[in-house]
Chain A
Amino acid sequence: MITDLFSPAVLLGIATSGIRFATPYLFATIGETFGQLSGVLNLGVEGIMLMGAYAGFIATFRTGNPVLGLVAAILVGGVMGLAMAVISVTLKAEQGISGIGVYLFGLGMSDLLFQKALGTVETVNGFAPLRIPLLADIPILGEVFFNHNVLVYAAFALVPLSAFLINKTTWGLQIRSVGQNPAAADALGVSVARVRYLTVTLGGVLSGVAGASLSIGLLNVFQQNMTSGMGFIAVALVYFGGWRPLGALLGALLFSSVNALQSWVQVLAIPIPSDFAVMMPYVLTILALIFAVRKVDQPAALTRIFERGEG
């Protein structure tokens, strides 16, 4: 019954999993925000997430230690991000298309390695929920906000941290200047290439962690193509969030809540075709891209290749 959806227990469940599953979106979206602010559109996020998910999973599976899994995901994500930086900054490749190459590579590679190493679905003991003392004992709110695994807290902590980095530090200013007017930044002595290498690699690291947050935090399994489009959503959420971490937070929460709502609709067997519920976030994204994205916020040099002396 549709009224079941509004019972306290269900609403609590939706809120809790809405918070929890905002994690991968948050990591990936904030990572991509750094890259896009510096002018690089990395469309390979989905592939990097899959590689991070696999690396985190297999390292945890072999060692039994999710911290090592996280390290593996960071390393693999960083290497993939670095590769994207080489492709888009040094080799000056068209970003939209080369990102699809990175995606296909990550999709195939994670599947290939998984099948070769395990072949069947296995579970691991990922990061366990960490109850925050006292706060977790608050009725209702404690369960919703303060009983998650460490990656969930980290993802939310990343929002103010990255906002500070972007808006209040010299490095943040350099990133934004390189994304707005690389020639001017270059003339002022900012190395466009170095800034872009750093942001895109950082984006790769965070995408890798985003994947790992699924495979060793929230779901504790790895499956072929387990991100199923989350990485592409993350790229769209950067636009949605107006290239701001706080906007990314709103977008991530919106998407994860709609997903949570939709899975409860299925669980409760409410007679709305669940396919349309699954479709809603995508329709919503297109509408958001049309109505909510202010073009003035977009980094002016996004997707543009920078070449000295061709200004």
Chain B
Amino acid sequence: MATVPVGQPTQGDPSMKSGASPRDRGYLSGIRPTRWLGPLMPFLAALAAFLIGGVMLWLLGANPFEAYAAMFQGAFGSLNSVADTIVKATPLMFVGAGICISFRGGVINIGGEGQLVAGALAATLAAIGLRHWPGWAIITLALAFGFLAGAVWGVIPGALKAYLNVNEILTTIMMNQIAVQVMNFLLSGPLMDPQQMLEGSFIPQTARFPQAADLPRLLPTRLHAGTLLAVIVAVLAWALLWRTTVGFRIRAVGHNIHASRRAGIRVERYAVLALLLSGALAGLGGATQVMGLHHRMFTDGSATGFTGSAGFNGIVAALFGQLHPLGTIPASILFGAMLVGANKMQSAVQIPTALVTVLNGLVVVFVVASELWRRQIAKRQEMTAMASSPDFAVEEAARA
């Protein structure tokens, strides 16, 4: 797709300021469903990943069928486990919806981890700072803070990318580490639970937020209103991308940056917006995690300790959902189920839960790599369509 034409020297990566080839269609022009195979492809990719996972389980001395059955049982076996699966899927939906926007806009956001942490920290500041306010006010402001903090964490790499041509993959990764250190600093000092300090245990976590600020529970389980918000956000992200001019422009920039520029779209602005929104949704996700699930912020020193790698798994879910915010919802539930079911698998067949990380990695590789195959099929369809078109028949007849 994106190749360099002979004799045309180009500079920089395929991004805004470079004199990139006119045929360059941005990073992700390939990932787009063709009519027939589109919806099927992720399932084939997941199937391949599970098959390889099965072979690995077998090599590690476990019965793959037993392992996967335990995983399924652990994820969907009871009302509580279903609720846990959905709870685990919730941050993936937020991150995934954001990833759909940024990837569609042609900017790669690997900063979900940092954006989740930034959002959660901002919400924590609000919930603790305003703890005497009424519950609804705390919730509203905390979520708004989370959204804004995520937006800030997204807009910095976005602006650097758009206006200074700094590779956003690298900056978003660096922003992850920066967010983690800010978290560690705040939780081991200014925000540490005063009770911890009195007792001298110094566990790096905040006090519990006021109960009035808890997001409502949906069932007598751990399921909280954050999930509803995640679904609403996914629908809004879909509406933005496919029902508004702004969304159309974001997709246009992602599809073909040069044509977009020529069509008068201010491509820099929309690239920044895509990364800003992507970060903001992840930040909102981080905020709902602390407001709905943990009711406090904590750290083990790494990002994963708080996020559970949702920043990366959200990318997996978004790719699996065809970079479609609505498709990301079931995809998130699938990956949430794997994460929850892995514990059951571990106790049933003694295979560490890290297997799920391996499977996620394989899914990413297969989904992205299957793009070639899909493209070839699309090309063949195009050729066949051309060959069977009336014009083509007329031309052939004239030539004969």
Q: Which residues of A contact B (CB under 8 A)?
A: 41, 43, 47, 87, 91-94, 96-98, 100-109, 111-112, 115-116, 180-184, 187, 224-225, 228-229, 232, 235-236, 239, 273, 275-276, 278-279, 282-283, 285-286, 289-290, 293, 295-296, 298, 300-307, 310-311
**B129 neighbours in A (Cβ, 8 Å):** none
**B3 neighbours in A (Cβ, 8 Å):** 182-183, 304-307, 310-311
Contact of A98 among B9, B23, B368 (CB under 8 A): B368
Q: A275-B188, A304-B2 are in contact. Are A112 and B354 (CB under 8 A)?
A: yes
Distance, CA A87 to CA B366, complexed state (A): 9
Contact indicator B164/A236 (Cβ below 8 Å): no
Contact indicator A289/B368 (Cβ below 8 Å): no
Residue of B nearest to A83 (CB): B365
Taking the closest CB of chain B, its distance from the CB of A107, in whole angstroms, is 6
Contact indicator B177/A307 (Cβ below 8 Å): no
Contact indicator B170/A285 (Cβ below 8 Å): yes
Which of A43, A104, A229, A298 has the most chain B CB atoms inside 10 A of its CB? Answer: A104
Instruction: State which of B12-20, B73-81, B195-203 sits at the interface with chain A.
Output: B12-20
Q: Give residues of chain B (143-173) contacting chain A, Cβ–Cβ below 8 Å.
A: 160, 164-167, 169-171, 173
Residue of A nearest to B60 (CB): A116
Contact indicator A289/B2 (Cβ below 8 Å): no
| Interchain Cβ contacts within 8 Å, total number | 195
**A296 neighbours in B (Cβ, 8 Å):** 11
Interchain Cβ contacts under 8 Å between A and B, 14 examples: A94-B27, A96-B108, A100-B312, A108-B359, A112-B351, A112-B355, A183-B3, A184-B7, A276-B185, A282-B174, A282-B178, A285-B174, A307-B3, A311-B4
Taking the closest CB of chain B, its distance from the CB of A209, in whole angstroms, is 22
**A104 neighbours in B (Cβ, 8 Å):** 312, 316, 357-358, 360-361, 364
Distance, CA A109 to CA B178, complexed state (A): 26
**A232 neighbours in B (Cβ, 8 Å):** 170, 173
Say whether B92 faces chain A, with CB atoms less than 8 Å apart.
no
User: Is the contact region of chain A dominated by helix, strand, or loop, or is it mixed?
Assistant: helix
Say whether B302 faces chain A, with CB atoms less than 8 Å apart.
yes
Contact indicator A96/B358 (Cβ below 8 Å): no
Residue of B nearest to A111 (CB): B354
Taking the closest CB of chain B, its distance from the CB of A179, in whole angstroms, is 10
Contact indicator B4/A182 (Cβ below 8 Å): yes
**A41 neighbours in B (Cβ, 8 Å):** 169
Distance, CA A102 to CA B316, complexed state (A): 12
Q: Which residues of B contact A (CB under 8 A)?
A: 1-7, 9-14, 18, 23-24, 27-28, 30-31, 60, 108, 110, 160, 164-167, 169-171, 173-175, 177-178, 181-182, 184-185, 188-189, 302, 304, 312, 315-316, 319, 351-352, 354-365, 368-369, 371-372
Distance, CA A200 to CA B47, complexed state (A): 27
Distance, CA A103 to CA B311, complexed state (A): 14
Taking the closest CB of chain A, its distance from the CB of B68, in whole angstroms, is 16
Q: A183-B4, A295-B11 are in contact. Are A100 and B315 (CB under 8 A)?
A: yes
Contact indicator B364/A289 (Cβ below 8 Å): no
Taking the closest CB of chain B, its distance from the CB of A196, in whole angstroms, is 14
Contact indicator B177/A279 (Cβ below 8 Å): yes
Distance, CA A304 to CA B185, complexed state (A): 40
Which of A96, A235, A239 has the most chain B CB atoms inside 10 A of its CB? Answer: A96
Q: A100-B110, A101-B365, A112-B352 are in contact. Are A94 and B357 (CB under 8 A)?
A: no
Contact indicator B368/A43 (Cβ below 8 Å): no
Contact indicator A105/B27 (Cβ below 8 Å): no
Distance, CA A279 to CA B160, complexed state (A): 19
Residue of A nearest to B313 (CB): A104
**B160 neighbours in A (Cβ, 8 Å):** 286, 289-290
Q: A102-B361, A273-B185, A283-B178 are in contact. Are A183 and B5 (CB under 8 A)?
A: yes
**A286 neighbours in B (Cβ, 8 Å):** 160, 166, 171, 174-175
Contact indicator B177/A108 (Cβ below 8 Å): no
Contact indicator B371/A94 (Cβ below 8 Å): yes
Contact indicator B13/A111 (Cβ below 8 Å): no
Contact indicator B181/A278 (Cβ below 8 Å): yes
Contact indicator B5/A311 (Cβ below 8 Å): yes
Taking the closest CB of chain B, its distance from the CB of A190, in whole angstroms, is 13
Taking the closest CB of chain B, its distance from the CB of A104, in whole angstroms, is 3
Contact indicator B369/A87 (Cβ below 8 Å): yes
Residue of A nearest to B181 (CB): A279
Lowest 8 A-B CB distances belong to which pairs?
A108-B357, A101-B364, A105-B361, A104-B361, A108-B358, A101-B365, A275-B185, A279-B181
Contact indicator B178/A181 (Cβ below 8 Å): no
Residue of A nearest to B185 (CB): A275
Residue of B nearest to A115 (CB): B352
Contact indicator A275/B182 (Cβ below 8 Å): yes
Taking the closest CB of chain B, its distance from the CB of A251, in whole angstroms, is 13
Distance, CA A87 to CA B372, complexed state (A): 10
**A290 neighbours in B (Cβ, 8 Å):** 160, 164, 166
**B24 neighbours in A (Cβ, 8 Å):** 304
Contact indicator A98/B174 (Cβ below 8 Å): no
Contact indicator B358/A105 (Cβ below 8 Å): yes
Given contacts A93-B372, A96-B27, A101-B365, 5 further A-B contacts (CB under 8 A): A108-B358, A112-B355, A304-B3, A307-B3, A310-B23
Contact indicator A106/B13 (Cβ below 8 Å): no
**B13 neighbours in A (Cβ, 8 Å):** 298, 302-303
**B185 neighbours in A (Cβ, 8 Å):** 273, 275-276
Which of B9, B14, B174 has the most chain A CB atoms inside 10 A of its CB? Answer: B174
**B177 neighbours in A (Cβ, 8 Å):** 229, 279, 282
Contact indicator A108/B361 (Cβ below 8 Å): yes
Contact indicator B4/A111 (Cβ below 8 Å): no
Which of A100, A228, A283 has the most chain B CB atoms inside 10 A of its CB? Answer: A100
